[in-house]
Amino acid sequence: MSTQSLSAPPIGADHIRALVEPDRVHRSVYTDQALFDLEVERIFERIWVYCGHESQVPKPGDFYTMQIGRQPMVMVRDKDMQIHVLYNRCPHRGVELCGATKGNTGSSLVCSYHAWSFHLDGKIKAIPLASGYDGTRLSRDNPDCSMKRAERVDAYRGFVFASLSPTGPSLREFLGEARIAFDDMCDRSPVGEVEAVPVCHRVIQHSNWKFFMENQLDALHPSVTHQSTGVAAGRIEQQLVKKHGKAPLYYHMLSTFASSFEMWDEVQTLNFPRGHGILKAYMGLRPQDPDTKAYEALLEKAYGKEKMEEYLSRSIHHVLVYPYLSVQSPLQQLRCLRPIAPNKTLSEIWHFRLKGAPDAIYKRSLWYYNLVNSPATMINADDLENWSKGQWGLESKGGEWVSFHRGMGTDTEENGVTYSNKGTSEAVMRSQFKAWVQYMTGAL
Ligand code: FES
Ligand SMILES: [Fe+2]
């Protein structure tokens, strides 16, 4: 099968199905421009896409810009505190309205070209020299005179999403079992809420978005890819334990990456419909230090002992909202992908503060953010290098297929959920591609 014949338009459903076999996929799903264009149309510009957290726009007039598929969008807080998601485009001649990533636009959005102004819900407010339109078919009542809005906007526990499609599942349905990502994050706050820390690392990865999504639940790679970092951190951790009887938790955050293959095989993945998934916990995050005890006492006061135990002992490390979100709820981390091209993906890397929790607990989140997820860390950098090299390999003529055979036939399926019996099973990728075919053929 040649890439050329696979990419020749139009791409029909049979064509798409032929690219994904139960245990392998054709390399063109990572490299082909026509397939990427179709992904934008059939997936990213239809599904619920994460816009941001409501704490990013706390006051009326606050805005935050982002891409949904290829569409430039802006999330704005209105005077009545409602949040709108609008196309960041002036209806006059198309000029971008909010030129900055974030800010406050006051009581209206004003175009920098000819000063048309808009209410915070996107409706036209004023047109300079409006009499110039007398006798033309442009009128203020015409919706074309106002900024276009995302078809649907909704939020789940403060996390704001928008869909550019008027039809489709509700946000709750779309998130399905992956809602636990947001519940788990918020339940860890004594007041049940988080706030975004207004620092976002943005990384361009020179690879297809699927590399990231597959990697997040790939338990086979950490002890290889992150071995040098994990082993080095582990050595110092052991020295400190020997000397002082304990070591700061951040050494553990890094040393765990170098755990044995056997340990990784013990960590189960859960793979849900729509491609969402969970990698269960593999890291001890409940040390017995005074900070942790004080925090747990706060949670117990807020929710009672039973609930506190339930919230803190959920077995979660990563939750994936397919195809673009990775949430590490126990550490309040969220990474959001904005695909740009077959071989180019923007990732936004966020972390959150548990409202009402002691500062020492926030610092753990910050450590993890800086030590594991930030572009400055050796963990993220080593992953990025693998994905770039993966992209080059798949763009080559060195082979046509990508293998997802590992653990095939050994997983357990119940009520549409696939449970891996070995952590390193490639059930994750098989499940993601099942959803991919459904999206691309219009079945989802
Ligand atoms: S393009 Fe915006 S006012 Fe003319
Ligand atoms: Fe990794």
Name the residue of 98, 110, 113, 127 whose CB sits within 8 Å of the most ligand 1 atoms, as the mutation to test its pocket.
113
155 has pLDDT over 80: yes
Reported as a pLDDT band with limits 50, 70 and 90, residue 6 is low
Distance 16 CA to ligand 2 centre (A): 29
Query: How many Å apart are CA 327 and CA 267, to the nearest integer?
Result: 17
Distance 113 CA to ligand 2 centre (A): 45
What is the rounded average pLDDT of the residues 238-244?
97
9 has pLDDT over 90: no
DSSP assigned state of 415: T
Contact 116, 66 (CB under 8 A): no
Question: Ligand 1: which residue has its CA nearest to atom 4?
Answer: 114
Helix (H) or strand (E) holding 225: helix 222-225
Question: Ligand 1: which residue has its CA nearest to atom 1?
Answer: 93
Question: Ligand 1: which residue has its CA nearest to atom 3?
Answer: 114
Tell me what pLDDT residue 374 has: 94
Contact 95 CB / ligand 1 (< 6 Å): yes
Contact 125 CB / ligand 1 (< 6 Å): no
Residue 283 is encoded by which pair of tokens? 């890291």
Q: What ligand has the least distance to the C-alpha of 109?
A: 1
What percent of the chain lies above the pLDDT cut of 90?
94
- Cβ neighbour number for residue 10 with a 10 Å cutoff: 7
For residue 270, how far is the Cα from the chain centroid?
Answer: 17
Helix (H) or strand (E) holding 253: helix 249-255
For 333-353, letters b (16+ CB in 10 Å) and e give bbbbbbbbebbebbbbbbbbb
Residue 30 is encoded by which pair of tokens? 């990572």
Contact 206 CB / ligand 1 (< 6 Å): no
2 has pLDDT over 60: no
234 has pLDDT over 70: yes
pLDDT digits (tens, 9 = 90+) for 72-111: 999 999 999 999 999 999 999 999 999 999 999 999 999 9
Tell me what pLDDT residue 283 has: 84
Distance 380 CA to ligand 2 centre (A): 7
Residue 71 is encoded by which pair of tokens? 């569409």
Name the residue of 110, 116, 127 whose CB sits within 8 Å of the most ligand 1 atoms, as the mutation to test its pocket.
116
pLDDT, mean over the chain: 96
Q: Evaluate the CA torsion angle 365, 370, 371, 372 in order and state its sign.
A: positive
- Which of ligand 1's atoms lies nearest the C-alpha of 91? 2
Spatial neighbors of 80 by CB under 8 A, at least 6 apart, are none
Contact 88, 96 (CB under 8 A): yes
Kindly list the distances between the CA atom of residue 61 and the CA atoms of 52, 75, 81, 109, 351, in Å, as whole numbers in the listed order: 16, 10, 9, 8, 24
Contact 93 CB / ligand 1 (< 6 Å): yes
18 has pLDDT over 60: yes
Contact 136, 164 (CB under 8 A): no
Tell me what pLDDT residue 286 has: 86
In three-state secondary structure terms, 277 is strand
Contact 111 CB / ligand 1 (< 6 Å): yes
Reported as a pLDDT band with limits 50, 70 and 90, residue 10 is confident
Distance 62 CA to ligand 1 centre (A): 21
Contact 236 CB / ligand 1 (< 6 Å): no
Q: Which of 25, 77, 28 is nearest to 55 (CA)?
A: 77
The reply to whether omega before 169 is within 30° of 0 (cis) is: no
- Which of ligand 1's atoms lies nearest the C-alpha of 116? 3
Query: How many Å apart are CA 208 and CA 30, to the nearest integer?
Result: 6
Spatial neighbors of 48 by CB under 8 A, at least 6 apart, are 152, 154, 161, 162, 163, 171, 174, 175
Residue 32 is encoded by which pair of tokens? 């082909």
Bridge partners of 205?
A: 345
Tell me what pLDDT residue 264 has: 95
251 has pLDDT over 70: yes
Decide which of 9 and 160 is more confident.
160
Contact 109 CB / ligand 1 (< 6 Å): no
In three-state secondary structure terms, 366 is helix
- Which of ligand 1's atoms lies nearest the C-alpha of 90? 2
- Cβ neighbour number for residue 8 with a 10 Å cutoff: 11
Distance 378 CA to ligand 2 centre (A): 10
Q: What's the pTM?
A: 0.96
Name the residue of 87, 89, 114, 129 whose CB sits within 8 Å of the most ligand 1 atoms, as the mutation to test its pocket.
114
117 has pLDDT over 70: yes
378 has pLDDT over 90: no
Kindly list the distances between the CA atom of residue 363 and the CA atoms of 56, 205, 291, 384, in Å, as whole numbers in the listed order: 20, 27, 11, 25
Contact 130 CB / ligand 1 (< 6 Å): no
In three-state secondary structure terms, 74 is strand
Tell me what pLDDT residue 331 has: 96
Tell me what pLDDT residue 62 has: 98
238 has pLDDT over 70: yes
Query: How many Å apart are CA 76 and CA 350, to the nearest integer?
Result: 19
DSSP assigned state of 128: T
What is the rounded average pLDDT of the residues 261-268?
94
Query: How many Å apart are CA 166 and CA 184, to the nearest integer?
Result: 29
313 has pLDDT over 60: yes
pLDDT digits (tens, 9 = 90+) for 203-231: 999 999 999 999 999 999 999 999 999 99
7 has pLDDT over 60: no
